[in-house]
Amino acid sequence: MADYTKMWTELGLDLDNHDALLENLGGAYQSIFMSQEKRPEGMGYFDFVMSEAHGLRIQELRDEQEAGRKIIGSFCVFVPEELVLAAGCTSVGLCAGADFAQEEVEKVLPRNTCSLIKSFFGFKLGKVCPYMEASDLIVGENTCDGKKKSFETFSQLVPNFYQMDLPQNKAPMARKLLKHEYMAFVAKLEEMTGKSISLEDLKQGIATVNAKRNALARLSKLRSADPSPISGLDALLINQIAFLDNPARFTEKVNVLCDELELFVKENKGVKAVKAPRVVISGCPMAIPNWKVPAIIESTGAVIVGEESCIGERGQRNTTDDSSDTLDGLIDAVVDRYFKIDCAVFTPNQERVEHIKEMAKNTNADGVIHYGLQFCQPYIMESFSVEKILEKDGVSVLRLETDYSQEDMGQLSTRVEAFVEIIK
């Protein structure tokens, strides 16, 4: 990697902390990803992106800024990338997947807060996330109580915070609220860039994002083959990178990989043995570098064939209808697309269980592992009904509750291994 010290200093990163983080990440990446056998060649690109996630990609973002583009950082799949692109801005995901500077975090947040929230606070307080520091605007959304309350504190830590309200049910009024919020977001983007979004801009934005989602859907579909042509870890990585990379380039590379995987499927080539136990992961988002549970699952010889998660299916399912020829009509289409997201903060949320069932069926899964972050009420509460309903349908479910620490590796391994023995 080139020397980016100057850039990191300019961004205001704490270089010692940052080195520590990169070292950790690099080590984990080597042992978890590079040690996998029979990886497709197309993964080379994603390995490269990961290795340059704090380097070249940040350089690119800074070059874009130089040329007048704004960088919009967000924590949730409810912040529409279509609108961001239409305004001539670039969208990056900030959701963080590792513990950092926890002592600092616990000065401002209760200990019993989910790891995900603590993590983005830690990244800010430890000054280690170049995406956060490079963002011209950070969008926080009112989803779970943990996030929306923590944003009150977070907004004091960053100079460029924007809060978006979100509905929590699927009533007609709720859809109106979502539209209202998206219009306000558009206004904010327009104010920042000093120009208004045209019909053409939004068409273009939608086209770019639809293409990305179609490529990811193509990847998902290929995983239903037995043997699966790609490991769950690699597929998760791609889904994680979807939030960081340039969307057009990313789409192209996913499609290149899919071409290769199609050949694999034709030749019955797979990453794991034929008839390896197949698992769908469902639940909380898994942001980079949260690879703990997937790594444990695949180390048992099982293969993950789908992620019912915001970093995965939930975030990428459904495209936006681009047929309208009025701007308002297109915004409506965007609202419709996002209104279908079945995040556990919605109540009731029957669609999610249906989606999990459907995924388990389409991927020929033998079981579902429900992943919940400790103290995440929405997902953990929902995990009980998910378990009940799926089991009634004959699908085995294992509920896991964990955080970003490594303390419970032994316990988790035993649970996962025993579950894999059951579904074999």
Partner 1 sequence: MRHAGIDIGSRSIELVVIEEGKVIVRKQAESGYNPVERVEELIADISFDKVMATGYGRASLEIAFDYSTVTEIKAYGIGAAALHPGIRGILDIGGQDTKVISLNENGKVFKFEMNDKCAAGTGKFLEMMAVTLGYKQETFGLEALKGQEGIEINSMCAVFAESEVTSLLAKGCQRADIAMAIHQSVCRRAVGMIKRQDLKAPMLFAGGVANNSCMIHLLQQTFGDDIVIPESPQFVGAYGAAILAGSL
What residue ranges bind ligand SF4 (CB under 6 A)? 76-78, 114, 116-117, 143-144, 146-147, 284-285, 310, 341, 343, 345, 373, 376, 378-379
User: CB 296 → ligand SF4: shortest distance, Å?
Assistant: 19
User: CB 108 → ligand SF4: shortest distance, Å?
Assistant: 16
User: CB 381 → partner 1: shortest distance, Å?
Assistant: 16
**410 lies in the binding site for partner 1 (CB under 8 A):** yes
Q: Cβ neighbours of residue 305 under 8 Å, at least 6 residues apart?
A: 223, 224, 228, 232, 278, 279, 280, 363, 364, 365
- Partner in contact with 422, chosen from ligand SF4, partner 1, none, beta carbon below 5 to 8 Å by kind: partner 1
Helix (H, G, I), strand (E, B) or coil at 33: helix
Q: Write the interaction track for partner 1 spanning residues 360-399; mark x where CB under 8 A is met and - where it is not.
A: ------------------------------------x---
**Measured between alpha carbons, how far is 94 from 71 in angstroms, rounded to an integer?**
12
User: CB 342 → ligand SF4: shortest distance, Å?
Assistant: 9
**Measured between alpha carbons, how far is 264 from 275 in angstroms, rounded to an integer?**
16
**Measured between alpha carbons, how far is 401 from 397 in angstroms, rounded to an integer?**
13
- Partner in contact with 376, chosen from ligand SF4, partner 1, none, beta carbon below 5 to 8 Å by kind: ligand SF4
Phi-psi region of 38 (alpha: psi -120 to 50; beta: other; left: phi over 0): left
> Does the CA dihedral 147-152-158-162 come out positive or negative?
positive
Among 47, 190, 336, 408, binds partner 1 (CB under 8 A): 408
**CA max distance for the chain:** 59
**Measured between alpha carbons, how far is 303 from 314 in angstroms, rounded to an integer?**
20
- Partner in contact with 143, chosen from ligand SF4, partner 1, none, beta carbon below 5 to 8 Å by kind: ligand SF4
Q: How far apart are the first and last CA of the chain?
A: 43
**Choices 257-265, 280-288, 330-338, 415-423 (CB under 8 A): range interacting with partner 1:** 415-423
- Helices vs. strands in the chain: H and E counts, helices first: 19, 8
User: CB 388 → partner 1: shortest distance, Å?
Assistant: 11
Q: Cβ neighbours of residue 69 under 8 Å, at least 6 residues apart?
A: 88, 89, 90
- Partner in contact with 310, chosen from partner 1, ligand SF4, none, beta carbon below 5 to 8 Å by kind: ligand SF4
**Choices 70-78, 193-201, 306-314, 409-417 (CB under 8 A): range interacting with partner 1:** 409-417
- Partner in contact with 248, chosen from ligand SF4, partner 1, none, beta carbon below 5 to 8 Å by kind: none
Helix (H, G, I), strand (E, B) or coil at 240: helix
Helix (H, G, I), strand (E, B) or coil at 216: helix
- Partner in contact with 396, chosen from partner 1, ligand SF4, none, beta carbon below 5 to 8 Å by kind: partner 1
**Measured between alpha carbons, how far is 209 from 152 in angstroms, rounded to an integer?**
30
Query: Of 30 and 405, which has the nearer Cβ to partner 1?
Result: 405
Query: Contact residues for partner 1 (CB under 8 A)?
Result: 396, 407-408, 410-411, 413-415, 417-418, 421-422
